[in-house]
Amino acid sequence: MKKQTALFWLKITLIIYILATIFVASLNYGMQNIVSPKQAKVIHQIYKIFENEFKISLILICSFLSWQVLKKQKNNKLQKINLIAFSTTALFIHGIIPWLLNNRELYYFFMPLPWSSLGLQLLDSTSTYYTQQLNLWGVSGIFIAVVFFLISNGVVLLGTLMIGRRWQCSYLCMLNGFVSEIWSKVFPIFGKKKKISSNLLKFLNVFRWIMLGLSLILTTWWLFRIFGIPIKGSKEFISEFEVIKYLSLELLMMMFLWIIWTGRGYCYYCPLGAFLSLISKVIGQKIKTDNTHCINCNQCTQRCPMSIDIAKAASKGKAVNNLRCVGCGHCIDICPTRTLSYETHFIKWWRTKFNHPIVKKD
């Protein structure tokens, strides 16, 4: 397939995904409570088909298209791994696991704490969410969802402890990560690629911690309730607030940023990303550079979706351990002299012990 044809279809499919998301979210969040129970059931079915069958098909088709584009590029190893990982995650989260456990809404619990408190709300038998889901799933369904939520939290935590944010942001994230990798070649949808201004970057660097603070407050609030510790605030208000936050600051803003700026726009202020970046710091996540091979071509910096100046660090032989780094590996792939490599303490240990890299440099 020609590169231009694949790029054209990637853009079209992304527009379709955005329109479909807006349509289904409007139905689900705007209409659900004002229509008859029969119509609400139909809306619920549409939402489930969108989140499962539609999403899997789209991800597989678009990963194939993206693969066709990557094939024309000389170095593409890490981006290909990202595509394979996201397609596999989508198959498991939106297909195989829901089918095995007979629950097609388990994906709700795949973004771990502190991003969403839905899993905690399921542990509070007085919450509105618990009551709603009890009617739909029964007690055994709630139990399965809670176990899935705990396992997915454990998997993300363990994976991040070993290989940094690459684990979540380049392999698992079914919110923004998969879109930013699968459609990485077609952002922004309208207009030319834009460089972020230093003022906006400063604002986002602060806003990220505000979002994390807010998520931690909400998480703590639900934990207090679960453990029976008295706390002020109405559960209806808190749940409503979280839905509004999700729809406005997260879902809609994320898509707006795809249209005008970059696929990773939301990652600049994602609370989960901020939380994982702190863990990544502890486990020594970095992009290693080597100034004896760096030819100062600046391609790594231009390619970085998180506006990190890798070339500057590479020219001095310094490692890049910026908190914004999502570990996507685009800088490593693009480097013409194969100067850069991804590392954490665990990856280094593995390489030394088994003489075999987990994340391999060509």
Closest CA to 78 of 345, 326, 348, 280: 326
Contacts with ligand SF4 in 72-101 (CB under 6 A)? none
Q: d(Cα 252, Cα 260) in Å, to the nearest integer?
A: 13
CA dihedral 345, 350, 352, 353 (to 10 degrees): 130
Check residue 314 for interaction with ligand SF4 (CB under 6 A). no
Binding mask 271-290 for ligand SF4 (x = CB under 6 A): -xx-------------x---
Q: Which is nearer to ligand SF4, 65 or 308 (CB)?
A: 308
Q: Which is nearer to ligand SF4, 123 or 335 (CB)?
A: 335
Q: Which is nearer to ligand SF4, 128 or 301 (CB)?
A: 301
Among 93, 218, 320, 347, binds ligand SF4 (CB under 6 A): 320
Check residue 10 for interaction with ligand SF4 (CB under 6 A). no
Q: d(Cα 194, Cα 177) in Å, to the nearest integer?
A: 20
By the 10 Å C-beta count (0-12 exposed, 13-18 middle, 19+ buried), 99 is classed as exposed
- Provide the 3-class DSSP secondary structure of residue 343: strand
296 phi, psi to nearest 5 deg:
55, 40
Find the shortest distance in angstroms from Cβ 190 to ligand SF4: 22
Contacts with ligand SF4 in 149-168 (CB under 6 A)? 168
Q: Which is nearer to ligand SF4, 235 or 245 (CB)?
A: 245
Residue nearest to ligand SF4 (CB): 273
- Provide the 3-class DSSP secondary structure of residue 285: coil
85 phi, psi to nearest 5 deg:
-65, -45
Among 171, 187, 330, 343, binds ligand SF4 (CB under 6 A): 330
Check residue 263 for interaction with ligand SF4 (CB under 6 A). no
Angle formed by the axes of helices 345-354 and 128-163, nearest 10°? 50
Which residues are at the interface with ligand SF4 (CB under 6 A)?
A: 168-169, 173, 175-177, 266-267, 270, 272-273, 287, 303-304, 306, 308, 310, 320, 325-331
